[in-house]
Amino acid sequence: MKQENNRRTEHIWYPYTQMGDDFAPKLVEEAKGVNLKLDGQWVIDGISSWWSVLHGYNHHSLNDALKFQIDKFSHVMIGGLIHEPAIELAKSLSTICGRSLNRVFFSDSGSVGIEVAIKLSIQYWMNKKQATKSKLICFKKSYHGDTTGAMSISDPEDSMHHIFSPILMKHHFFDAPSSDPDIKRDQLKKIDVFLSKKHDEIAAIVLEPLVQCAGGFNFFTPDYLDELRNLADKHDVLLIYDEVATGFCRTGTFFAYHQSKTEPDILVCGKGLTGGYLGLAATITSDKVFRAFYAKGEPEKAFMHGPTFMGNPLACSLAIKSIDLATKNNYSQKFLEIQKILEEGLLGFTHPLIKRIRVKGGIGVIEVYNKSDIDGFGEYAFNKGAWLRGFESFIYTMPPALIKESELRKIIGIMKDYFLDKN
């Protein structure tokens, strides 16, 4: 096994990992439904491959969509060319967003989709001859990706990116959104007061709607979004939602912001867009934003950005099929059913090591007081038959929509048994 592990670690540089420590990545041999065969053992995947896998692995309809497109063509540049899958997907996303969000800029990952949103929001004001509006309002506990612009709008102190703080563009950070009515009122008041003084410097407010995911699983209520929309309108700044993690029904509506009464000016989605098969992201803007770039005979107002693999036809074909499956089979409802089972199974469970348990849509989280108490949780879960991992002070599940009730109950059992077995 040692020799085999050397082969797995000799040339690959693994993400988020101190490879000098004990480290033994598992080999994926097969994947089917919500199950992964890892080093010869079938286990239930409780985290959807970084929250991207929506339907499960090796899904026949998605496989067919991919095969159909691969026999036509796998890739073409979008500069000066276009193809049916991109046209159809852009239409489908605009229809789902409804109202004014109707322009889609494709890229290849969530982080790049965020870079696009940041640049669009800043250039929007340049094009309107208000170039001083170039900073963003951001929130603690936020995580928007690992590229430089995305890091600059993610929590600057309490995050894995903090060492880069000195070289990042400086934005303005406010406390993570709270659902407590008094704290919330106070938080929004602070943003209001700040914007009253500084709106000439602010391009946009950016946040993950309803669930701040990788920055600490902070959940908050939809009225917060409506309040931010009011503030954005009042002080003439744009509003950007990062739905890279929350999109595609995971919180119980197609996009999380659909639980609010209002909408953003720019929305970014990725991860589950292709059902978790291939990298693809979309930055969707309102007509208002698009019109600031649309000017005959003014090339400097154009948006100068174009990732080589933006709108890849294979990825777009998958996304069309994935969205079709999610809407026809009412995945929002499926995630609400998952929510109910998670609530029944997790809420109310107590243990001296546990600080708090929370559930939102298809996301179930146990937070502990001490990070070190979840060392070894991944291996424990694997030995009990599930692929789950902890990070920081959290263990969590965020399974694919098609997980069976028995599989979900097994995951919940493993999360709880981990603590009970420590006694």
Ligand X SMILES: Cc1ncc(COP(=O)(O)O)c(C=O)c1O
Considering the complex, state which of residue 235 and residue 258 has its C-beta at the smaller distance from ligand X: 258
What would the 3-class secondary structure string for 72-106 be? CCCCCCCCCCCCHHHHHHHHHHHHHHCCCEEEEEE
Of 57, 105, 125, 143, the one binding ligand X (CB under 6 A) is 143
Q: Which is nearer to ligand X, 109 or 260 (CB)?
A: 109
| Shortest distance (Å) from residue 93 CB to ligand X | 17
Ranked by CB distance to ligand X, the top (closest) residue is: 110
- Which helix (H) or strand (E) is 32 found in, with range? strand 28-32
Per CB under 6 A, which region of 8-16, 207-215, 290-298, 396-404 contacts ligand X?
A: 207-215
Whether 369 is catalytic: no
Half-sphere exposure of 130 (CA within 13 A, CB side): 16
Tokens encoding 11: 């040339």
From the candidates 2, 16, 182, 328, give the one annotated as an active-site residue: 16
Judged by CB, which is closer to ligand X: 195, or 284?
284
DSSP, residue by residue, 324-382: HHHHHTTHHHHHHHHHHHHHHHHTT---TTEEEEEEETTEEEEEES-GGGGTTHHHHHH
Label the pairing between strands 386-387 and 172-174.
Answer: unpaired
CB 46 within 8 Å of CB 283 = no
* Interface pick for ligand X out of 83, 144, 235, 360 (rule CB under 6 A): 144
Q: Which residue's CB is nearer to ligand X, number 95 or number 308?
A: 308
Helices (H) and strands (E) in the chain, counts: 13, 17
Toward ligand X, which CB reaches closer, 250 or 384? 250
Among 46, 85, 145, 222, binds ligand X (CB under 6 A): 145
Q: Among 242, 265, 334, 384, which one carries the catalytic annotation?
A: 242
Q: Is 141 a residue that touches ligand X (CB under 6 A)?
A: no
Does residue 177 touch ligand X according to CB under 6 A? no
Q: What is the DSSP string of 94-161?
A: HHHH-TTEEEEEEESSHHHHHHHHHHHHHHHHHHTT-TT--EEEEETT----SSHHHHHTS-SSSSTT
The Cβ of residue 423 has, within 10 Å, a number of other Cβ atoms equal to: 7
**Catalytic one among 133, 140, 141, 271?**
271
* 325 near ligand X, judged by CB under 6 A: no
Q: Which stretch binds ligand X (CB under 6 A): 196-204, 208-216, 310-318, 378-386?
A: 208-216
Residue 270 burial by Cβ neighbours in a 10 Å radius (0-12, 13-18, 19+): buried
Report the nearest approach of ligand X to the CB of residue 161 (Å). 12
| Cα gap 206→355, rounded to integer Å | 29
109 binds ligand X (CB under 6 A): yes
Residue 143 bears catalytic tag = yes
- The alpha carbons of the chain give a radius of gyration, in whole angstroms, of 22
User: Which residue in the list 143, 257, 331, 418 is annotated as catalytic?
Assistant: 143
3-state secondary structure of 179: coil
Q: Which of 110, 264, 275, 399 binds ligand X (CB under 6 A)?
A: 110
For ligand X, the closer CB: 56 or 247 = 247
Q: Does 116 bind ligand X (CB under 6 A)?
A: no
242 binds ligand X (CB under 6 A): yes
Q: What is the dihedral of CA 46, 243, 143, 319, to 10 degrees?
A: 60
Q: Closest CB to ligand X among 115 and 373?
A: 115
> Would you count residue 222 as binding ligand X (CB under 6 A)?
no
Choice from 209, 247, 270, 307 touching ligand X (CB under 6 A): 270
Q: In what helix (H) or strand (E) does residue 410 lie, and over which residues does it extend?
A: helix 405-420
Active site residue 242: yes
The yes or no reply on residue 245 touching ligand X (CB under 6 A) is yes
Would you tell me the crossing angle of helices 60-70 and 313-328 to the nearest 10 degrees?
150
- Is residue 214 near ligand X by the rule CB under 6 A? yes
Q: Which residues are identified as catalytic?
A: 16, 143, 242, 271
- Residues at the site binding ligand X, with contacts judged by CB under 6 A: 109-111, 114, 143-145, 208, 213-214, 242, 244-245, 270
